[in-house]
Amino acid sequence: MTRRAIVTGAAGFLGSHLTDRLLSEGWSVVGIDNLSSGHLDNLSLAQRHRNFEFRRGDLRRKLRLPPADAIFHFASPASPPRYESDPIGTLEVNAFGTAQVLAHAQGLGARVLVSSTSEVYGDPQVHPQPESYWGHVNPIGVRSCYDEGKRFLEALCMAWQRQRGADVRIARIFNTYGPRMAPDDGRVVSNFCVQGWKGAPITVQGSGRQSRSFCYVDDLIEGLVRLYSAPADTGPVNLGNPRGETTILDIAKRIRRLTGARSPIVFIERGKDDPERRRPDLRKARRVLGWEPKVPLTQGLARTSEHFRVLVREGKA
């Protein structure tokens, strides 16, 4: 019998890739999105699939959700400019939205996989970050809507699991990049690609010495699919690339080259509470999921840059 999944945030970057993957594995999928940061364009492949249905809906309000065997909860703004421009909405979707998802799943006996984030570690003082690290978060800073929103999401999932036996999996997702990142969501890879193809200045924030570890989207989706099937008591798992750590200035130089090297690199003000370093400790994911990212940064950036070249040429970015 066909398994049925609900994907919240289905029109977003990760939600749409996950939707395509589930459809390709024979699931039927109901995608839900309020289109506040997602785009229907991301679902053009899914929309042609007979097992896909899209419903526009906002999880911050009570929704009539369909029956399902699984709920993949990806609805939330995720880039710093997006969540900082709607901190209340970000907290609400991660609090009320997650509560709604858990309650609905419980009634059906469905499994829930939620998207958490490496931001639960804040500006980490332990490097790389293992799941056992409690983090270093400014609870009232500009990023707190997202950091604390996701920490609340994790706490709520664990409470439901302990108190009511909910069947939950928690993915702590580190920086991920690839086609379908929104060209205007202000993330580093998408920004630099759009700027590079337009010949506009590439905007490095601060000195560019801060680092991130970048995981290509196809690898991340494979990690999510494996986590879904992991044992019930797995707890949060880091999903990201332990080998892709690089400085933001290095990313700027690489993308500048990939996009024809017409853009100057300029240095602009850095966002508040921007983490200095971030890289996943991947031991748990390796052990429990047998998973590890495969796509090297050079290859992933080339594919991503090509995606943005087309968007810029078509006037969509």
Task: Return the active site residues.
Answer: 146
Q: What is the DSSP string of 31-93?
A: EEE--SS--GGGGHHHHTSTTEEEEE--TTS---PPP-SEEEE--S--SHHHHHH-HHHHHHI
Pairing label, strands 4-8, 28-33: parallel
Q: Interacting stretch for ligand UDP, rule CB under 6 A, among 36-44, 83-91, 161-169, 186-194?
A: 186-194
At closest approach, how far in Å is the CB of 241 from ligand UDP? 13
Using alpha carbons, select from 285, 267, 265 the residue that is nearest to residue 196.
265
| Contact of 273 with 135, CB cutoff 8 Å | no
Does 128 sit behind a cis peptide bond, omega within 30 degrees of 0 on the bond before it?
yes
By beta-carbon proximity to ligand UDP, the closer residue of 87 and 186 is 186
By beta-carbon proximity to ligand UDP, the closer residue of 32 and 91 is 91
Q: What is the rounded CA–CA span in Å between residue 206 and residue 274?
A: 10
Pairing label, strands 28-33, 211-213: unpaired
Q: Interacting stretch for ligand UDP, rule CB under 6 A, among 20-28, 88-96, 130-138, 181-189?
A: 181-189
205 binding ligand UDP? (CB under 6 A): yes
Give residues 264-283 in contact with ligand UDP (rule: CB under 6 A).
270-271, 274
Q: Interacting stretch for ligand UDP, rule CB under 6 A, among 5-13, 128-136, 184-192, 215-223?
A: 184-192
Binding track, positions 69-88, relative to ligand UDP; x by CB under 6 A: ----------xx--------
Q: Which residues pair with 245 in a beta bridge?
A: 213
150 binding ligand UDP? (CB under 6 A): no
Candidate residues 82, 187, 284, 309; the one interacting with ligand UDP per rule CB under 6 A: 187
Q: What is the rounded CA–CA span in Å between residue 213 and residue 215?
A: 7
Residues that bind ligand UDP (CB under 6 A): 79-80, 175, 186-188, 191, 203-205, 210, 212, 248, 270-271, 274
